[in-house]
Structure 1
Amino acid sequence: MAHWLYKSEPDVFSWDALVAEGDKGTHWNGVRNHLAKLNLRAMKLGDRGFFYHSNEGKEIVGVVEVIREAYPDHTAPEGSPWVMVDIKAVEPLPRPVTLAAVKAEPKLAKMALVTSMRLSVQPVTDEEWDVVRQMGGL
């Protein structure tokens, strides 16, 4: 199973909004970066990821799961290469993990959240996954 990080501005779409969608989840659309698109295409059913509040908060707040693999993004022009996946909320982190805490943890120095901050959908290594989960109280 691969792990990912999904970034969203909480005033646009927050963790609470995803939780409100329940088990049906929602689509993760609007990605317009080629590397992020490749990440979406690599996702498999059941993959887990972190939900990160960007701009406001700057913290990892929950765990999500891929419930539908990549398919055409309905917000993109017809025939474009852009895709989306569906995700659902799995569980909140008991202690949100701030960007400052991630940057302060030497084991996370190479995490995409630190090295590729602008990328909206990022891979997370197994070691990073374990470290962040522990920092977040899971």
Structure 2
Amino acid sequence: MAYWLFKTEPDAFSIDDLNSRPDQTEPWDGVRNYQARNFLRDKVAIGDQVFIYHSSCKIVGIAGVAEVVKAGYPDETQFNPESNYYDPKSTRENPRWFRVDVKFVEKFESVLPLSVIKAMPNITEIGLVKKGGRLSIMPVEETEWQQLYTTAKMN
């Protein structure tokens, strides 16, 4: 099992939106960064744990946890000309963009703010604390996952 952080803007899709789905499962689509795409296509696997991170909002930080329930497969939005994520250079034979399906696990009582994460002395590897490392999909080391999770539960 691996650990990840998936960023989302809560006014577009939040941990509450995931929790409110009938089966609490949702395709994680719309990723349009090649490095993040490669993670979704090649690395993210069923059973992996995911921090849902809210960005571009009042309180930026980790809001909860999801689990990957379907490994990487072509993101259908790339083929839809009416989608904001349409890519005319992508074909079904050679898709450019991938997504995974995630399922709600838990919402934290409060968001673990980025300011707190940055102040944690043992959190040094996650892209959130590295200059230029803030992808929409990023790996999280197991030791950092455990520290962040524990802190979020106590927050």
**Range into which the TM-score falls when normalised by the shorter chain:** over 0.9
In the alignment, is the contact (CA less than 8 A) between 2:30 and 2:75 conserved in 1? yes
Q: Do the aligned residues in 1 keep the contact of 2:31 with 2:98 (CA within 8 Å)? A: yes
How far residue 118 of structure 1 moved from its aligned partner, in angstroms, is 3.3
Take 1:89 and 1:65, find their aligned partners in 2: how far apart are those partners? 7
Describe the shift of the 1:22–1:88 C-alpha distance in structure 2 as closer, same or farther (beyond 3 A): farther
Q: Of the two, which has the highest radius of gyration?
A: 2
Q: Amino acid of the residue matched to residue 136 of structure 2?
A: S
Q: 1:91 aligns with which of 96, 106, 114?
A: 106
Number of the residue aligned with 2:33: 33
Displacement of 1:123 after TM fit?
0.3
Q: Could you state the TM-score of these two structures normalised by the residue count of structure 2?
A: 0.83
TM-score, normalising length: structure 1: 0.93
Aligned partners of 2:74 and 2:99 also within 8 Å: yes
Q: Does residue 124 of the first structure (1) align with residue 140 of the second (2)?
A: yes
1:51 aligns with 52
**Partner residue, 2:8:** 8
Partner-residue secondary structure (3-state), 1:136: helix
SS at 1:127 equivalent: helix
Q: Write the letter of the residue equivalent to 1:32.
A: R
Is the 2:62–2:112 contact (alpha carbons within 8 Å) kept by the matching residues of 1? Answer: yes
CA distance in 2, matches of 1:129, 1:13: 22
Q: Aligned equivalents of 1:18 and 1:40: distance in 2?
A: 18
Q: Which runs of 5+ in 1 are unaligned?
A: none
Cα RMSD between the aligned structures? Answer: 1.5
Give 5+ residue unaligned stretches, structure 2.
Answer: 79-89
Distance in 1 between residues matched to 2:6 and 2:22, nearest whole Å: 18
Aligned length: 138
Q: Percent identity?
A: 40
1:133 aligns with 2:141: no
Alpha-carbon distance between aligned partners in 1 of 2:105 and 2:133, rounded to the nearest angstrom: 24
Q: Point out 4+ residue stretches in structure 1 off by more than 4 angstroms.
A: none
| Gap change, CA 1:2 and 1:55, over 3 Å in 2 | same
